[in-house]
Amino acid sequence: MIKVSGLTKDYGARRAIHNLNFNAQQGEIVGFLGPNGAGKTTTMRILTGYMPPSDGEAIVAGYDVVEESLEVRKRVGYLPETVPLYTDMVVFDYLKYMGELRRIPDIDDRVDEVLDMVGLLDRAQGFIGNLSKGMRQRVGLAQALLHRPEVLILDEPTIGLDPGQVVEVRQLIRDIGKERTVLLSTHLLNEAQNLCDRVLIINKGKIVAEDTTENLQARLLGAERVIVRVRGDGEELADTIKEVKGVRKVETLEDGAVEFEFASGKDLRPEVAKQVIKSGYDLLELRPLGMSLEEIFLELTSNDGKKK
Amino acid sequence: MNNIWTIAKREYDTYFNSPLAYVVMLAILLPLGIFFTLILLFSSQNAMFGGGAAPDTLQINWLFVFLMVFLGPAITMRLISDEARMGTLELMLTAPIKDFEFVAGKWLGALMFVLSIAVVTIVFPIVLNNFVSPGIDWKTVISSYIGLILVSSAMLSLGVGISAIFNNQFAAFFVTLGLFFFLWFFVNMPVSLLQGGGEILNYLSLSYHFAQNINQGNMTLAGITYYLSLTALGLFIGTSAIEIRRWR
């Protein structure tokens, strides 16, 4: 659905993105992460046919973004970062206008349908200029969904929404992502973790990592870290755990819990559990500690992906 | 064509959401109304004393076009520059419409707005027709209105083209105003200064073909070609400016 190879974009002397290569399949939600100015918006703009690349190729929904830009634009739903809207228009009229430009049949019914999807049916006759930021965000999302696009490109789709709306919009994206291709950029790393099948981490115009969040965690850590909590103070718990062969870096935390790690590949948790119980402790918790996406993000973007 | 019409309709409606549109309408219709009243007054005075030529409304259309030199830039200044400033240009340029359709839709919307004002002015020849005998020359009036449409079309197209170049509507306004001033007042100035020769410069004047020919009932091919060419040039400038924005 999206196939990018060697994509490069220069703004004058400045290279915004350099030799990007990635794919996104139908039924996949791909997260696009990176610090400000990393090249996320530039990439998204190229994929939506807004601007051509300086070099490389991008195929979206089977069409080349430069050679067959109109065909790409027919099949892509796009929510830009700033959610540009005609503030002097009524919500319904605005969506109808955008639908007419896309030649959507039965446009009145379809507008009602998408307004219902984004929870704005009761504001259909309100002026966009009078809507809150979150509501405008939803109008933008409705516009992107209007023509049932094969590919949905969303630049920060949940920014400005209240927590309830965030949950609803994420569910909406999840539902859409079951059948279509969704590429979304976000600064909310937990959003990427919860929503995306795969993430692309971009830094200084280059992709520094591309994988599922779980695989990224495993690749970066090279080891698995676990926390153990027992009833009581568990003073000698650390010594007990150290007795298990293969366990390393055992640390007692302030609250009495103990963290340890073991090499990836062999799960030592059953042995540790047996040892803890055998030593007379009441085991309350034995939980793997994943590396958070925040940590992965910082690791990759601060070292230019050297640890990839 | 569908897209051009869709964009034009929205643009036309947008004018009436803005106070600027009503200011422009007032700035055109009020002077024209006063001018028409004066024509009627002077004509009736002349008729009482048994002299003077039969009145006509051709000067009213000339005044309309002259006012467009100043008001045309106000009508077109925000058309594309404001879309760029507000970010909605990104929305339009990622919609499945051709750049030309976008620019042409903007131009057509502006032209429809000006034509709405022009339609109101038809009341002047209709009223005058009831006062003079054996009635006014409708062929000349129709020619005059076709001229008015052609000149407005050319002006608005150039205005849209310039609006596509800038992100600031006031920059677009002043550049358009400067261009209209040049084409109206200055481009054929050497003709009178040289006292012979250089008449070809008259063909480049925005006012010449309208004032000297079309408004007098003389639909010259040169005049029609000139205004249509300017219209095409304006649309070309606008489309190219959008293309350049994409590649920048």
ipTM score here?
A: 0.88
A6-10, A170-174, A277-281: range with highest mean pLDDT: A6-10
Distance, in Å, from the CA atom of B59 to the CA atom of B41, rounded to the nearest integer, reads: 15
At residue A305, does pLDDT exceed 50? Answer: no
The minimum CA-CA distance between A122 and chain B, rounded to whole Å, is: 23
In this structure, of A120-129, B65-74, B118-127, B208-217, the range with the lowest mean pLDDT score is: B208-217
> Rounded to the nearest 5°, which phi and psi values hold at A61?
55, 35
- In the stretch 16-75 of chain B, residues with CB closer than 8 A to chain A read 17-18
Closest CB to A102: pick one of B86, B89, B95.
Answer: B95
Closest CB to B87: pick one of A80, A89, A103.
Answer: A80
- Give chain A's mean pLDDT: 87
Distance, in Å, from the CA atom of A57 to the CA atom of A52, rounded to the nearest integer, reads: 9
The minimum CA-CA distance between A216 and chain B, rounded to whole Å, is: 33
Could you tell me if B95 lies within 8 Å of chain A, comparing CB atoms?
A: yes
Mean pLDDT of A79-103: 93
Measured between beta carbons, which residues in chain B are less than 8 angstroms from residue A86?
A: 14, 88
B231 pLDDT band, cuts 50/70/90, is very high
- Please tell me the predicted confidence (pLDDT) of residue B50: 66
Q: Are B6 and B104 in contact (CB under 8 A)?
A: no
A156 pLDDT band, cuts 50/70/90, is confident
Closest CB to A73: pick one of B14, B96, B248.
Answer: B96
A253 pLDDT band, cuts 50/70/90, is confident
Closest CA to B58 of B175, B141, B167, B151: B141
B156 pLDDT band, cuts 50/70/90, is very high
Q: Do B87 and A82 touch (CB under 8 A)?
A: yes
Q: What is the distance of C-alpha A210 from the center of its chain?
A: 12
User: Which pTM does this prediction carry?
Assistant: 0.84
pLDDT tens digits along B113-148: 999 999 999 999 998 888 777 778 888 899 999 999
Measured between beta carbons, which residues in chain B are less than 8 angstroms from residue A80?
A: 87, 90-91, 94
Closest chain A residue by Cα to residue B4 = A101
Closest CB to B3: pick one of A49, A101, A143.
Answer: A101
Q: Do B94 and A73 touch (CB under 8 A)?
A: yes
Q: Do B248 and A103 touch (CB under 8 A)?
A: no
The residue among A164 and B72 whose pLDDT is bigger is B72
- Between the alpha carbon of residue A30 and those of residues A25, A155, A204, B205, B239, the distances in Å are 9, 12, 19, 58, 35
Measured between beta carbons, which residues in chain B are less than 8 angstroms from residue A95?
A: none
Closest CA to A29 of A226, A228, A179: A179
At residue A56, does pLDDT exceed 90? Answer: yes
Measured between beta carbons, which residues in chain B are less than 8 angstroms from residue A49?
A: 93-94
At residue A308, does pLDDT exceed 70? Answer: no
Closest chain A residue by Cα to residue B248 = A11
Distance, in Å, from the CA atom of B40 to the CA atom of B87, rounded to the nearest integer, reads: 50
- Please tell me the predicted confidence (pLDDT) of residue A218: 65
Amino acid code (one letter) for B223: G
Could you tell me if A103 lies within 8 Å of chain B, comparing CB atoms?
A: yes
Could you tell me if B86 lies within 8 Å of chain A, comparing CB atoms?
A: yes
Q: Do A88 and B247 touch (CB under 8 A)?
A: no
Mean pLDDT of A237-254: 87
- Please tell me the predicted confidence (pLDDT) of residue A220: 62
Closest CB to B14: pick one of A45, A78, A88.
Answer: A88
Non-local (6+) Cβ contacts of A167 within 8 A are: none
Could you give the percent of chain B with pLDDT greater than 90?
64
Q: Could you tell me whether strands A29-33 and A198-203 are parallel, antiparallel, or unpaired per DSSP bridges?
A: parallel
Closest CB to B246: pick one of A11, A52, A86.
Answer: A52
The minimum CA-CA distance between A116 and chain B, rounded to whole Å, is: 22
Q: Could you tell me whether strands A151-155 and A76-79 are parallel, antiparallel, or unpaired per DSSP bridges?
A: parallel
Element (H, E) at B186: none
In this structure, of A67-71, A257-261, A287-291, A304-308, the range with the lowest mean pLDDT score is: A304-308
Q: Is A250 helix (H, G, I), strand (E, B) or coil?
A: strand
* Residue A220 burial (C-beta neighbours within 10 Å; 0-12, 13-18, 19+): middle
Q: Do B95 and A98 touch (CB under 8 A)?
A: yes
Q: Do A80 and B95 touch (CB under 8 A)?
A: no
Could you give the percent of chain A with pLDDT greater than 70?
92
pLDDT tens digits along A197-241: 899 988 888 988 888 877 776 666 656 778 888 887 767 888 888
Element (H, E) at A305: none
The residue among A299 and B150 whose pLDDT is bigger is B150
Q: In what order do the strands lie in the sheet with A206-211?
A: A76-79, A151-155, A181-185, A29-33, A198-203, A206-211
Q: Are A2 and A60 in contact (CB under 8 A)?
A: yes
Could you tell me if B133 lies within 8 Å of chain A, comparing CB atoms?
A: no
The residue among B30 and B128 whose pLDDT is bigger is B30
Q: Do B88 and A86 touch (CB under 8 A)?
A: yes
Measured between beta carbons, which residues in chain B are less than 8 angstroms from residue A89?
A: 10
Token pair, residue A22, equals 């990635």
Element (H, E) at A196: none
Closest chain A residue by Cα to residue B14 = A88
Q: Counting one residue from A and one from B, how many pairs have CB atoms under 8 Å apart? A: 60
Q: Do A73 and B246 touch (CB under 8 A)?
A: no
Mutate to test the interface with B, among A90, A101, A104, A127 (most CBs of B within 10 A): A101
- Please tell me the predicted confidence (pLDDT) of residue B200: 79
Measured between beta carbons, which residues in chain B are less than 8 angstroms from residue A74?
A: 96
